[in-house]
Structure 1
Amino acid sequence: MKKNVLITGTSTGLGLESAVLFAKNGYKVYASMRNLKKADTLKEKTENENLDITILQLDVTNLQSINTALKTIIEKDGKIDVLVNNAGAGFAKTTEQATEQEIKWVTDVNYHGVVFCTQAVLPYMRKQKSGQIISVTSIGGLVGQPFNELYCGAKFAVEGFMEGLATYVSDAFNIKITCVEPGGIKTEFMNSAISKTAVDGALATGEYLPIFQSYMAGIQKRASQGEAQTYQTGAEVAEILLDISKVENPPLRIRTSQWAEQFCSLKTQADPDGTKLVQQIKGSFL
């Protein structure tokens, strides 16, 4: 029987690339997205290449939506083998200038959505004594960055959540946990993040303005250096997600490029993949 995988946020970018790649490599893919009106590209690829992909509506911030999608998968297959928490959104604005609604939104999409989707699959993985949860976080989940503190805070939370979960569900229930940490992905995610920053940049006035201008100049410079520097393609990162799904004992965390590795080195050099820390925590508490 084929392994199945639920991937969130598959309308564009990394999610779309991952859905296609997993299907081409023998997985039965449940590709979910908040807005099914954005499914045309994936539908076209599915039909043209005769891929085993089922497109589902799933809003990671809506519990009913998550549970409905899981019910569909369980009714069809009776199991869930892999969850890829990919859905997320970039956000760059000072804490002072962010609205209450924006703060709640960036946290809901990037953190609560991961928790809710993970919560939904855990009972099935626990009962079947197998499963894998792969969460696309970011180097922003390890290293705080200017104007990204709210986004980074949500990604730090995902890293802590996954780290804590890994300390006991892996041994007890054979549920493997991995955080995949890209440095930057040249997809709609990056474009929307930069666009939102630029549009809302008018708010970065007064004493914040020179810092903001320097920040934007840095983004533009790195983007112009090409994919070999900061930004990878969605397809490149999708390959890493697929590789992780095939590893018998996957690491807790993995960066997706040499640039990302170097950027996080002060945080990760003692324990690059998180394995030593998880073992230490198990030894201390269990």
Structure 2
Amino acid sequence: MNKNVLITGTSTGVGFESAILFAQNNFKVYATMRNLKKADLLKKRIEQEHLDIELLFLDVTNVASISSAVETIIKKDGKIDILINNAGAGFAKTTEQSSEEEIRWVTEVNYHGVVFCTQAVIPYMRKQRSGQIINVTSVGGLVGQPFNELYCGAKFAVEGYMEGLATYISDSFNIKITNVEPGGIATEFMKSAVEKTTDKGQLAHGEYLPIFEKYLAGNQKRANEGKEQVYQTGLEVAEVILKVAKNDNPPLRIRTSEWAEEFSKLKTQADPDGLKLVTQIKSSFL
């Protein structure tokens, strides 16, 4: 039986491209999303290319839906080989002007969802003594950025959670963990982030406005400088994810572009793939 893969957030962007790419490479794909009404484009590709993709409802902020999706896969296949924690949402806003609801939301989607999806698959991977958990994080999980501190905080949490988990679950149960760390991605994710960015009208009479205008100008400048490869396509990131899935000894973390590598270099140059630190932690604690 071919390996199966559960992917979250597949209606657009990296998740959409990953679902198609993995199916094209002979994986059985369970493509999940919060709103199945957004699955039309994926359904069209499935029909056109006769892809082995099954659509399932899964809302990463709803534990019951996560459990239901995992149980469906287990009943059909008896196993889960790979989990790709892809679902996430961009958020750019000042801490001062973010509501309690917004702060909880960005944390639920980008961090708690990853934890609960991981928690749901681990028992089955542990019993089968094999599995792989791949997380689409961000250079924002390594480097804090202006007006993105709440998003970065959630992604930092994913990085720390997975780093700690990898220290004992990989050797003991043969469950490999990798954080895939893109820079900017030119997908619906970016559009969503912009829509949730601080309304300039709210800043018009505040001290944040000149800082925020510099931030927006810098984003636009980088977007226009394609040679720097700041904004990758969803497919380019999906290709890195597939490479990780096919690697028998995958890294703990990997950047997806030269720009992302350079941007986070001060944090990663001593241990680019994260494996040295994991080894050190294991020798210290286990």
- 1:237 is paired with a residue whose SS is helix
> What amino acid is aligned across from residue 100 of structure 2 in structure 1?
E
| 1:145 maps onto 2:145 in alignment | yes
> What amino acid is aligned across from residue 204 of structure 1 in structure 2?
L
- 2:51 is paired with a residue whose SS is coil
Task: Report the Cα offset of residue 140 of structure 1.
Answer: 0.2
- 2:196 is paired with a residue whose SS is helix
In the TM superposition, 1:166-245 aligns within 5 A as: 166-197=166-197, 200-205=199-204, 206-226=206-226, 228-245=228-245
Identity of aligned residues (%): 74
When the two structures are superposed, what TM-score results if normalisation uses the length of structure 1?
A: 0.98
| 1:115 maps onto 2:109 in alignment | no
Matching residue of 1:64 = 64
- 1:51 is paired with a residue whose SS is coil
CA contact (8 A) 2:5 2:30 kept: yes
Task: Report the Cα offset of residue 227 of structure 1.
Answer: 6.8
- 1:282 is paired with a residue whose SS is helix
Q: Give me the whole-angstrom Cα distance separating, in 2, the residues matched to 1:201 and 1:163.
A: 37
Q: Give me the whole-angstrom Cα distance separating, in 1, the residues matched to 2:235 and 2:229.
A: 16
CA contact (8 A) 1:142 1:267 kept: yes
CA contact (8 A) 1:227 1:233 kept: no
1:31-82 Cα distance to aligned partner (Å, 9 max, x none) = 0000000000000000110000000000001010000100110000000000
> What amino acid is aligned across from residue 257 of structure 2 in structure 1?
S
> What amino acid is aligned across from residue 255 of structure 1 in structure 2?
R
Unmatched tracts of structure 1, length 5 or more: none
Moved over 6 A (4+): none
Cα RMSD (Å):
0.9
Task: Report the Cα offset of residue 148 of structure 1.
Answer: 0.2
- Matched residue count: 285
CA contact (8 A) 2:92 2:193 kept: yes
Q: Give me the whole-angstrom Cα distance separating, in 2, the residues matched to 1:172 and 1:257.
A: 32
> What amino acid is aligned across from residue 186 of structure 2 in structure 1?
K
> What amino acid is aligned across from residue 97 of structure 2 in structure 1?
Q
CA contact (8 A) 2:93 2:196 kept: no
> What amino acid is aligned across from residue 63 of structure 1 in structure 2?
V
Matching residue of 1:246 = 246
Matching residue of 2:32 = 32
CA contact (8 A) 1:94 1:204 kept: no
Q: Give me the whole-angstrom Cα distance separating, in 1, the residues matched to 2:94 and 2:195.
A: 16
- 1:89 is paired with a residue whose SS is coil
When the two structures are superposed, what TM-score results if normalisation uses the length of structure 2?
A: 0.98
Q: Give me the whole-angstrom Cα distance separating, in 2, the residues matched to 1:227 and 1:187.
A: 18
